[in-house]
Amino acid sequence: MSASYQLSSCIEWQFAEAGELDARLRAAKAVGLEFAEFHLWRDKPVDALAKALADTGMKLTGVCVDPRRSIVDPAEREEMVTAVRETIAATEVLGKPALIVASGFRVEGMSEEEHFANAVAALRAAADAAEEAGVMLLLEPLNTRLFAAMYLVSTRLGLDLVEAVGSPNLRLLYDVWHSAVMGENMAEVLAGRMHLVAHVQVADMEDRNEPGTGSLDWAAIMQTLRDLGYAGQIGLEYFPTLSMDQSLALSEKTLGC
């Protein structure tokens, strides 16, 4: 496979000087990017984004299910599946991008087995909706530094959940920064299961900025992705510390893209 990956700008945090999200999309295209992603959609100009995508030919690699609801709390399951269905419907005009799901917080008094079983049940119901619509769901492990009580903060657990649900429309979003915060060994936690990962996001340690501004070994990280057979885009989910031209140049150089 090619040694280079296509980059996807997180326009939630990048190209802010351009203004609204649709203008940020156009700004990303103007510097040569073909892919972008953002977070929640209900507060965003969806129709204007759809026009910008049509005008530029850009594609979205991910949008978050909105509102965020727990996959481990049975009391929120119906709302969670409804949020998935509503997000599928709302983002169809955006080209049916992959939809990102976080786990929600641990439920006090609930065993690990119950947490896992509830997560599988919720994700199975969500995957049914995704299969019907022809949309990919991306389950994203986060970290305990940002979210102390978050249930899913382990890549291995996330992959276990994806395997347990067994849907072709549910895959993992592997975020290098979240994984590094949790002290994971990337090669070990992904070994033999990269086929279950559909998107990868990057940012440097410690402060979630451009690759090349922190302590991570990006040559090793990118080689690991190649060795494990990752074939998707690389999401630039970081807070830029430089002008976007300089920030992208540093990211491209550091990542070898």
CATH number of the domain where residue 67 is located: 3.20.20.150
Q: What is the pLDDT of residue 4?
A: 83
Count of alpha carbons within 13 angstroms of residue 21, beta-carbon side: 25
Determine, yes or no, domain membership for 2. Answer: no
Asked, for residue 229, whether it belongs to a domain, the answer is: yes
Report, as ranges of residue numbers, the positions in the chain whose pLDDT lies below 70. 1-3
Residues of the domain holding 226: 7-255
Residue partners of 195: CB distance under 8 A and separation at least 6? 229
- This prediction has a pTM of 0.97
At 2 the pLDDT is 44
The four Cα atoms 157, 69, 115, 145 give a dihedral, to 10 degrees, of: 50
Contact residues for 232 (Cβ-Cβ < 8 A; gap 6+): 5, 61, 197, 198, 199, 200
* Residue 1 counted as domain residue: no
Q: How many domains does the chain have?
A: 1
Q: Is residue 182 part of a domain?
A: yes
In a 13 Å sphere around the CA of 175, the CA atoms on its Cβ side amount to 25
Interacting residues of 193 by C-beta distance below 8 A, sequence separation 6+: 159, 163
Residue with token string 């550091």: 254
pLDDT tens column, 3-12: 589 999 999 9
For residue 28, which phi and psi values (nearest 5 degrees)? -65, -40
